[in-house]
Chain A
Amino acid sequence: MSTEYVNQPFTDLATAARQLTQAVSVLSDAASVLQPPPLDSCEWHEQLRQKLLPQLGTEAWLVAAVVGGTNIGKSVVFNHLAGGRASSTSPLASGTKHPVCLVPDGFTERQDLKRVFPDFDLSEWSDADDALRETTNHELFWRTSSDLPSTLLVLDTPDIDSDVRVNWVRADAIRRSADVLIAVLTQQKYNDAAVKEFFRKAADEDKAVLVVFNQCLLPDDEEFWPVWLETFCRETGITPESVYLAPADRTAAEELRLPFFERVWPVTADGPPQPVGQPRNLRADLSSLRFHEIRVRTLRGSVRELLSNDHGVPSWMQLLHNASEDLKATSERLSSDAVLKIRDWPVPPASLFVAEIRTWWKSRQQGWARRINRLYDKVGAGVLWPVKVARNAIQGEPIEPLVQYREREWSAILTTIEELFDKLQWMAESGNQMIRPRIELVLQGVSRTQLIETLRRRHLAVDFRLELNEVVHQEMERFSVDSPELFTFYRQLNHVSAVVRPMTSVVLFSLGFGPAGETVAPFVADAAANAVVHVVADVAGGAAAAVAGDTAVGTAGKGASMLQAWFHNLNGRYTERRVNWLTDLIRREMLGTLPEDLQRASSISDSVEWKNVSESLAHIESLLQETHE
């Protein structure tokens, strides 16, 4: 045999095929949210794995397989090819469960059979009944045959239409590896849906097909077979290399002396009736096929299938792309709702801020001023003690403001997550099937209970005094640097804080589905995938300056209004910090990687993985062109 199939384009194709396999598996993983059809259910992927990877760029051999429906004499035909009872025959249907392979002498030394049939567990043939074994794994029994050309493998395969579906899987695997199919047909089955489906695939892959009409009633059927074959070819797209008729002769079949009469196809309309002729030797006919041509043809056929827009990789990518677009559209639709508004986030009482600011102030004092202040504090506390005791006795122990605040914050958190759940619920209902299962997982009763428990635990663990302390210190440091008004401020502290009313803060945060909608823009335009918190200071009464927030403070405004604004700002900072804390927790404990996953999936066609596959495909296409030159 010539070594022409090992020529450059094919060797390159082999490398490219390996790259493609790698690239699609990476892409498939990356796109898991889009629920792509599993790779091993894609015909092109199996083609790649079972035909192209084992056969591209290697020494050429030809795989010929006897295929057809159940109980129509596949094994009989195979035994004729084998020249002996290599595969058991039985009057009962779907007897052959595993393929049997005839391997030319010396083939196994040159090639690894496991590589040729990657899906099968190989064992050496010992008995014709091997193929009838009922096992769940795919087995393939091989025996060497000295009568075969050194590069021809002949197989008997399980059926393609019985209720034993695993047989179909095995037959499909053999079909993909095969170059030549010996299609056994009968008048009952040539037009069966399952049979036609099988051979349509074979035609798409450009297999060489020899048709054997078995169990013909000769000579009565002479006038019918061209009609049958015409239907078969029209329905499947197959152009047979040659056509044989075998009579319905059970005895001859069992004694392996079934005659195969060759017929000319296509039949010319006005041509003379074809002579009955001498029976042909199937094996000899098979051996005289032009191996090289067929091999190149089927390899090209498989590569073409791989590149096919209808059922190749591009179609799979198109599926992904559509799903991704769909997801993107849904995400965009949902994104305006992915922003959560919390209206009544509580703010600690102003007195706490004031107390904290005073503490900070004291920590800045030095020398005698500090000592005097301390003394005053002590004296003050001493004087107030009896008053305090009396008040406690009458009104009961007052509730610590921070404890009260904690309660209120917990209420706000509950309201928030409740709203969040409602929102997610709505998204699950109006989203598509890619989003729904993920969200529904979060929405289950059990996960809700867990979430509340986690949040409660974490919330109880928060040290509010520390939070307050950190915010106040940070802001005061900044203020002391920015503003010379510090002392004025301190003097007016009580006055200012009395004027400032409790703020109604509107907090926005995005769940991160798709680009955060216009609602939050421009604050979050750049951070699409992140939960973004923005506190909008919406002041309940009066103090217009407060709305100006940072700006008013920054541009060195004067007097009380500036200080009020600053105080509002302080409240805002604090709220922002708390909501950030909650958002982080919610993302970690509840949403997980959901927003990122959706984000990534909705832009899959921009990803590196996608590009790799596209490039790999383009490369293969150009290599395929080269093989034609």
Chain B
Amino acid sequence: MKPPSSSSVASEPCNTLPGRMITSSGASGSLEHIALLARIDDLTGRLTHWVDDSLPWGPARRARSLVARLLERVDAVRFRLESPLVVATFGGTGTGKSSLVNALVGEEVSRSGRQRPTTTEPVLLIHPDLEPETLGLDLTLFSIRKVDSPLLRDIALIDCPDPDTTEAAVAGSNLTMLRDLLPHSDVLIYTSTQQKYRSARIVEELSEAASGCRLVFVQTHADLDQDIREDWKNCLAQDYEVPEMFFVNSREAFADRQEGHSPRGEFARLVRLLSEQLDTSRRVEIRRANLIELLQEVLVECRLVYDSAMPDVHELQEALEAQRQEVTKSLTDQLTQELLQNRNLWERRLITAITDRWGFSPFSSMLRLYNGLGALIASFTLFRARTSAQMAIVGAVQSARWMKTRVEEQDSESRLDRLASFGISDQQLQESRVVISGYLNSSQIELESSSHSGELAALRRTAADLEGEFLGDARRAVDTVVDDVVNGRSGLLRRTFYELLSLAYLAFLLGRIGYNFFWSSFLAPVLGRVTEPEPLMTVDFYIPALLFLVIWSVVLVVMFTAGLRRGLDRHVRGLAESMAGSRLMHGLFPSLDEVCHSIEADNQALSQLLDDTRSFRRSLAGVSSAFGGRRE
């Protein structure tokens, strides 16, 4: 019994505003205390935030409404965090709940008897000094008795009806009443007897009632029954923490009280537990432990909901990934094919790159000339074919003009038609849509159908974007290949070789012409070396000379380009391989990808919340170890 606490009971009823709650405990408690309260606030704050952050996913919604309901209860508890603890009796009919209550307060306050059930209306026992309104209970549920008992200075006691005489929980039955009461209690005194301790009904009801409650286990009828606490403990051990069990004889204890004796034996220990461990200083601790336990239980339940639904989401993700790979593969296949087919484009691109690098020189001029002619011819084909893959080969500069028209065509039909020639076919899109919506259904994701698959046109647009993305990658890859090939084929040695060869003919020609022009036709006769000046060379000479120049150039260019082409196949295949391995940023169903990612993140968030709650609970373990409770 702790006399000083009575004054604090009297002063506390006004501390009911949540805001003041913290200041008042700050005044009475330590910094550590405030820190703990802040931690609870932080946790519930995060939960509130989590609840508000909605997802278009069935399980997420279900889990959130679970937590939302809990948060309401949490608020109620926070509201009365420091009001006297509510202790309720719980146990089968005939296990002596009322007798125990009477013995505890030392007065016949609740009718006990041999007729089942005896208690049909719950009795709330409070100290005369306490205003019952501060308890946060629905007072219409009880008949209220004010008893000036030392035990009631710190707690309010409820004598509850039994859970086991009612077959179905209909309105007004004992069971319904009990279920209304129990969520409001902080501590349960669970009474049982040799006959009842394994009653299925009680065990089941306890597992409901015990969430967010401290438990005190009492075996009654010590005068008639044998001690079964060991077996009882074993039965409970799997689901509950069972610190100590009391074996009491309420009748004898009541008689003792009446005769003014102080409590004896086990009953004395029970009274001590109730009066010492539930006093003012423990209230917050116990309520906090209850709260955290409740939070954890609900979060575990949410976890179960998520765990059972996550595999379907993962399957959807896998299916999306598979679709994405399939798209990449078919795009890559088509690209490879086109790249291999358009050899002349390659050639032009490579030669351009090389001549750009070499600047002006005889051989490079030859190449330029050749390329220019080629481009002239190719421009016709380009206008006709203009596939995206060809554009990738032609490269950024050359395709600029074409790109401009492409942008203009962005949403027009002709662009969509183009998809049929290169890219993802309508059939492929349809197939993907059929399959994905199957997975979507089982995943319980609630998306408006228009936003994920919807019209084929929308899907086509996504596909076109995908293709654009893919071709952008492809262009960069082609640029690299071009650079590689050019680097390998434009070395100084090779260049010198070709330049020399082309120069050799030119030199020969120049020599030949110069000799004729300066010497044999002019200087030699002037100097008198020869009598007759040779005639200047005529067209008869220049035509074959030019012809041979062309032939020589062609031979050299062909040799050179043949060299360029060598190993191109290998490069293209390498390119295809690297493209196939690359991962597209988006899939055909970007909104679905997004939802899956948020679900994944939400799943993580839930785990984090659960982990934090769990570690919080562990850090609180031992604070209220005098009481039993549900195991994790």
A interface residues (Cβ-Cβ under 8 A, vs B): 69-72, 91-94, 161-165, 168, 186-194, 196-197, 215, 220-221, 224, 227-228, 231, 248, 250, 407, 410-411, 414-415, 417-418, 421, 425, 440, 443-449, 452
Contact = CB atoms under 8 A, between A and B. Distances in A.
B236 to A, nearest CB: 11
Contacts of A188: 92-95, 116, 193, 195-196
A163 B166 CA distance: 17
A191 B194 contact: no
Contacts of A94: 198
A192 B201 contact: yes
The 6 lowest CB-CB distance pairs between A and B, nearest first, are A445-B439, A188-B94, A445-B438, A191-B116, A448-B438, A93-B198
Interface in B376-434: 426-427, 430-431, 433-434
Interface in B154-205: 164-167, 193-201, 203-204
B443 to A, nearest CB: 9
A418 B315 CA distance: 20
Contacts of A161: 199-201
Contact of A411 (B95, B164, B165, B427): B427
Contacts of B197: 71, 93
B226 interface: yes
Contact of A194 (B199, B228, B440): B199
Contact of A196 (B115, B167, B439): B167
A186 B438 contact: no
Contact of B92 (A168, A192, A227, A448): A192
B165 A421 contact: no
A197 B427 CA distance: 63
Contacts of A231: 116
A165 B436 CA distance: 45
A162 B198 contact: yes
Nearest to A168: B200
B195 A191 contact: no
A192 B438 contact: no
Given A93-B197, A163-B204, A443-B438, 20 more contacts: A71-B194, A71-B195, A71-B197, A72-B195, A93-B195, A162-B198, A163-B235, A186-B195, A188-B95, A192-B165, A193-B167, A215-B224, A227-B115, A250-B226, A411-B427, A414-B430, A414-B431, A440-B442, A448-B434, A449-B435
Most buried by B among A227, A250, A449: A449
A339 to B, nearest CB: 20
B198 A410 contact: no
A418 B433 contact: yes
Contact of A187 (B94, B164, B199, B442): B94
A91 B116 contact: no
A92 B226 CA distance: 9
A232 to B, nearest CB: 10
A192 B224 contact: no
Given A92-B228, A445-B316, A228 B115 contact: yes
Given A71-B194, A193-B167, A414-B431, A425 B441 contact: yes
B570 interface: no
Interface residues of B, number: 45
Contact of A71 (B198, B316, B439): B198
B198 A190 contact: no
A161 B163 CA distance: 14
B117 A191 contact: yes
Contact of A410 (B203, B226, B427): B427
Nearest to A455: B431
Contact of B438 (A168, A411, A421): A421
A163 B427 contact: no
B437 interface: yes
A214 to B, nearest CB: 10
Interface string B285-322: 00000000000000000000000000000011001000
A187 B435 contact: no
Given A188-B92, A188-B193, A425-B441, A452 B116 contact: no
A414 B115 CA distance: 73
Contact of A452 (B204, B435, B440): B435
Contacts of A91: 194, 226, 228
Contacts of B166: 193
A605 B194 CA distance: 52
A417 B427 CA distance: 12
A70 B199 contact: yes
B422 to A, nearest CB: 15
Nearest to B316: A445
B114 interface: yes
A492 to B, nearest CB: 36
Contacts, number: 134
Nearest to B165: A191
Nearest to A187: B114
A417 B194 contact: no
Contacts of A444: 438-439, 441-442
Nearest to B430: A414
Contacts of B193: 188
Contacts of B427: 407, 410-411, 414
23 contacts: A71-B194, A71-B196, A71-B197, A93-B194, A93-B198, A94-B198, A163-B204, A163-B235, A165-B200, A188-B93, A189-B196, A193-B165, A194-B200, A224-B114, A248-B224, A411-B427, A414-B434, A418-B434, A421-B434, A440-B441, A445-B319, A445-B440, A449-B438
Interface string B106-146: 00000000111100000000000000000000000000000
B231 interface: yes
Interface in B65-113: 92-95
A418 B272 CA distance: 73
A191 B93 contact: yes
B116 A187 contact: yes
B430 A411 contact: yes
A446 B442 CA distance: 10
A425 B114 CA distance: 60
A194 B198 CA distance: 12
Interface in B227-253: 228, 231, 235
A443 B434 contact: no
A93 B93 contact: no
B164 A193 contact: yes
Contacts of B441: 425, 440, 443-445
Nearest to A442: B438
Contacts of B224: 215, 248
Contacts of B201: 161, 192-194
A192 B319 contact: no
Contacts of A187: 94, 114, 116
A407 B166 CA distance: 69
A197 B201 CA distance: 12
A444 B440 CA distance: 9
Contacts of A220: 114
Most buried by B among A70, A92, A190, A410: A92
Most buried by B among A93, A221, A452: A93
Contacts of A425: 437, 441
Contacts of A410: 427
A554 to B, nearest CB: 39
Contacts of A221: 114
A164 B198 contact: yes
Contacts of B440: 445
B198 A189 contact: no
Contact of A418 (B116, B235, B430): B430
B93 A192 contact: yes
Contact of A163 (B167, B198, B431): B198
Contacts of B439: 444-445
A415 B199 contact: no
Contacts of B226: 91, 250
Contacts of A440: 441-442
Contact of B434 (A92, A186, A250, A452): A452
A382 to B, nearest CB: 31
Nearest to A70: B198
A436 B398 CA distance: 59
